[in-house]
Amino acid sequence: MGRAVIAERERGTTWEQIANAAGTMKQAAHERWSGDVKAWTALGRVAGVTRPTMELVRELDWDFAQIDVHPRRTDAVSAGLDATRHAGASAFEDARRTRGQQLHARLGELKRDGESNREEDARLTNPDRGLLPARRSGCVECGYVRPMASQFRTKDGGEVRVGDEVWARVWQESDNNPWLITQHPLDKTHLILKEIGGAEERVHHPDDLALYYYANRQPPSGG
């Protein structure tokens, strides 16, 4: 039955058609006979133990020569083959078969790699593991990123969080307003600092707080 399925698959018969003919379900047919089809393909579509083609042809020549015909020929089969008439044809076919086996093996490796990559992607994008894909967080360049920390360090060594106020170094006392730390509504990797008593808003990465902002009010830098 396995050989019949192989023959039908070579003809282009679908698994659904094979299942209908066998009186079973498509999945059951595939599970039962797909191994036979894959083995056939892996062998270079040669049934049984692979032997050199010309060795088999010579056996057929000998069998045909035993038939009582006149005139008796010793090359009745091989004389009509390209492998005999055209030098190198046999080696070419062997090379094609070998290449086919190599490609089939490589395809199997790529399929296994693909499955491994899908599993790794599922693992990385699982929220329970604390990792989020960049395309969801708004960061295009950085690949996979961890959720934002709950506390951020300022330039003067303080620790602040969303909802706290920070201060920026300014030139004049009249500009010395605090800034409220808020979460960016669209990009979970960035913050929005809103000027208290003013209308300005600034978008910052959390690391920027350690470069430009203070937990404590700073004196103006100018007059």
Q: What are the start-end ranges of the H helices in 86-205?
A: 89-124, 134-137
Can you tell me which residue has the tokens 């190599």?
A: 102
Pairing of the two strands 165-168 and 179-183? antiparallel
CA distance 56 to 64: 12
Q: How many Å apart are CA 221 and CA 176, to the nearest integer?
A: 10
pLDDT tens for each residue of the chain, 223 residues long = 777 888 888 788 888 999 998 898 988 988 888 888 887 677 666 555 556 677 777 888 887 777 766 566 777 777 777 666 666 666 777 777 788 888 888 888 888 888 888 887 777 666 555 444 444 444 444 444 556 788 999 999 999 999 999 998 877 666 788 999 999 988 888 999 999 988 899 999 999 999 999 999 888 776 4
Strands 201-204, 213-214: parallel, antiparallel or unpaired by DSSP?
Answer: unpaired
Tokens of 82: 């390209």
Q: Could you tell me which CATH class the domain 152-214 is placed in?
A: mainly beta
Q: Rounded to whole angstroms, what are the CA distances from 28 to 2, 22, 39, 137?
A: 14, 10, 18, 43
pTM: 0.36
For the chain, the structural domain boundaries read 2-122, 152-214
> Which residues partner with 179 through β-bridges?
166, 195
Length of the chain as a residue count: 223
